[in-house]
């Protein structure tokens, strides 16, 4: 019997500045024989996420650096195609951290490595986006840090991304005014028309702090009570000028500095003047909220109350270019690679 070949993307070199396709290497390796307790998963979808850029560096961060000459880590959703574990049967739909490859062998005895999902009401791909890590990230930052009350104004940067779209919709469900920031008129149109935000500011139309701050003032006449931060830099500076006293900022990402650029704050004294709470968080450190968050979000998606978008690249070969595009904001919503 011929062995199944597995295509895998490895990290070949660490980027200096902006990453390129040359930092990745595509290899083929035979799928190993299963040992007792293991399952073989055929990935249908592979997740691409901004956090992966930080792991490509060898510097100090909240996550271990991605090892060189090893498969790029990341979330996957797929189907069990062989099993030597009583916990999983062939045909089970599962999500895990299979990485940038077509197949993964998983030790089913290790807790949290693989999770069965129901695809009757929720598509498999959604478990990597809205009903997965990005959705829980949105839920946690909004509910546990911003904790908005009805009538308050919540602003979200990267509002058209996998996390931002959920933040705005959950804020609207709580009776808040939701204002997004996104790049380009088409993204802003969809953020308002499809995802129900009250307004969306096209930051590309506001190249300086004064202009962006004025746009925020117009969109947030009662000031800003909560801010979900994905970008940093000038965006954060403009928001700080508009924050109300005792406002809350959930610090989720700083994509403006992902290639090593410095991210100065021009007026940090505003944190003191406005008595702001500014809290950074990593969603994987709060596993205790995942069941509640996923249940809530899953129910909203299954009933059509929470909408989402996906950008899908076809085939494992497309992964590096799709990832580089994601870092430049070329995606809309959740960036996936379809493998089957």
Note the pLDDT tens digit of each residue in 22-36.
Answer: 999 999 999 999 999
Instruction: Indicate the pLDDT class of residue 49, thresholds 50, 70 and 90.
Output: very high
Q: Are 95 and 113 in contact (CB under 8 A)?
A: no
Instruction: Indicate the pLDDT class of residue 262, thresholds 50, 70 and 90.
Output: confident
Mean pLDDT value of segment 238-250: 98
Distance CA 45, CA 54 (A): 22
Q: Which residues contact 328 (CB under 8 A, 6 or more apart)?
A: none
Distance CA 245, CA 61 (A): 31
pLDDT digits (tens, 9 = 90+) for 279-328: 999 999 999 999 999 999 999 999 999 999 999 999 999 999 999 999 99
Distance CA 234, CA 44 (A): 38
Q: Is the backbone of residue 198 left (phi > 0), alpha (psi -120 to 50) or beta? A: alpha
Q: Which CATH number fits domain 133-284: 3.30.200.20, 3.40.50.720, 3.30.160.40, 1.10.10.60?
A: 3.40.50.720
Q: Which two tokens stand for residue 236?
A: 């954060």
> In the predicted model, is pLDDT for residue 193 greater than 60?
yes
Domain 5-129+308-338 architecture: Alpha-Beta Complex (3.90)
Return the higher-pLDDT residue of 60 and 222.
Answer: 222
Identity of the highest mean pLDDT range in 90-104, 105-119, 253-267: 90-104
Common-topology check for domains 5-129+308-338 and 133-284? no
What's residue 281's pLDDT?
A: 97
H-assigned helices in 77-163: 133-140
Mean pLDDT value of segment 258-272: 91
What's residue 112's pLDDT?
A: 83
Going from N- to C-terminal start, the domains of the chain cover 5-129+308-338, 133-284
Mean pLDDT value of segment 141-164: 97
> In the predicted model, is pLDDT for residue 228 greater than 60?
yes
Instruction: Indicate the pLDDT class of residue 220, thresholds 50, 70 and 90.
Output: very high
- φ/ψ (deg, to 5) at 290: -55, -45
Q: Which two tokens stand for residue 190?
A: 């969809």
Spatial strand order in the sheet of 243-251: 199-202, 177-182, 153-156, 224-229, 243-251, 277-280
Mean pLDDT of the chain: 95
Instruction: Indicate the pLDDT class of residue 59, thresholds 50, 70 and 90.
Output: confident
Q: Which two tokens stand for residue 79?
A: 């189907």
H-assigned helices in the chain: 51-55, 133-140, 164-173, 185-193, 209-219, 234-242, 269-273, 290-302, 319-327
What's residue 259's pLDDT?
A: 80
What's residue 197's pLDDT?
A: 98
What's residue 269's pLDDT?
A: 98
Mean pLDDT value of segment 38-53: 96
What's residue 243's pLDDT?
A: 98
What's residue 2's pLDDT?
A: 64
């Amino acid at each position: 019997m011929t062995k199944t070949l597995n295509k895998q993307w490895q990290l070949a070199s660490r980027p200096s500045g902006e990453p390129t396709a040359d930092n990745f290497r595509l290899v083929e390796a035979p799928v190993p024989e299963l040992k007792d307790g293991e399952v073989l998963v055929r990935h249908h979808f592979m997740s691409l996420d901004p956090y992966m850029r930080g792991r490509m560096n060898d510097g100090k961060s909240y996550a271990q650096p991605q090892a060189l000459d090893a498969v790029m880590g990341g979330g996957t959703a797929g189907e069990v195609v062989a099993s030597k574990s009583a916990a999983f049967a062939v045909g089970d739909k599962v999500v895990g951290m299979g990485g940038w490859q077509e197949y993964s062998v998983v030790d089913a005895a290790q807790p949290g490595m693989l999770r069965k999902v129901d695809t009757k009401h929720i598509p498999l791909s959604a478990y990597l986006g809205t009903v997965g890590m990005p959705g829980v990230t949105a839920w946690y930052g909004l509910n546990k840090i911003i904790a908005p009350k009805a009538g308050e104004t919540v602003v979200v940067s990267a509002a058209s991304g996998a996390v931002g779209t959920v933040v705005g919709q959950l804020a609207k469900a709580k009776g808040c005014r939701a204002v997004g920031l996104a790049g380009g008129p088409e993204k802003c149109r969809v953020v308002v028309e499809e995802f129900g935000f009250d307004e969306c500011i096209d930051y590309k139309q506001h190249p300086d702090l004064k202009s962006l701050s004025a746009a925020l003032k117009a969109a947030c006449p009662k000031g800003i009570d909560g801010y979900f931060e994905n970008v940093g830099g000038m965006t954060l500076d403009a928001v700080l000028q508009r924050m109300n006293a005792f406002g809350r900022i959930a610090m989720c990402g700083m994509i403006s500095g992902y290639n090593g650029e410095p991210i100065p704050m021009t007026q940090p004294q505003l944190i003191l003047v406005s008595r702001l709470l500014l809290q950074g968080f990593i969603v994987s450190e709060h596993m205790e909220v995942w069941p509640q968050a996923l249940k809530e979000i899953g129910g909203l998606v299954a009933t059509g109350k929470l909408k989402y978008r996906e950008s899908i690249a076809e085939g494992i070969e497309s992964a590096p270019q799709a990832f580089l595009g994601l870092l430049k904001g070329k995606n809309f919503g959740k960036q996936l690679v379809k493998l089957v």
